[in-house]
Amino acid sequence: TPAGQDKPVTFEHDWGSSNPSYSRGEQVRVLYSPTSPGDAIIDAGWMNWLASLLTLTLGLVFTVAGSAALRKRSRDKSKRSDGFKGVGDKYV
């Protein structure tokens, strides 16, 4: 029951499994917004942040890889001595 409310709130967690971590009716710690208690989630510790951490990690990997590719392309362009600027460019 959310603080300051008489009526309990029922919700379903977004993810589950064939071997659930909790039994129906078992008391668990719940995270919720007081303005929207129906959008609650079970507090699973660091697992609450797993999707965000995966997204952040993938973003960092692609940023580093893209930056490295751009640096390499820039170095390769400046080392060319034949006057060719690249695909689609004309000879100087």
Each residue's pLDDT tens digit, 30-89: 888 888 877 888 887 887 788 899 999 999 999 999 999 988 888 877 766 555 555 665
pTM for the structure as a whole = 0.50
Each residue's pLDDT tens digit, 1-28: 556 667 777 777 666 666 677 777 788 8
Long-range contacts of 5-10 (CB under 8 A, 24+ apart): 5/37, 9/37, 9/38, 9/40
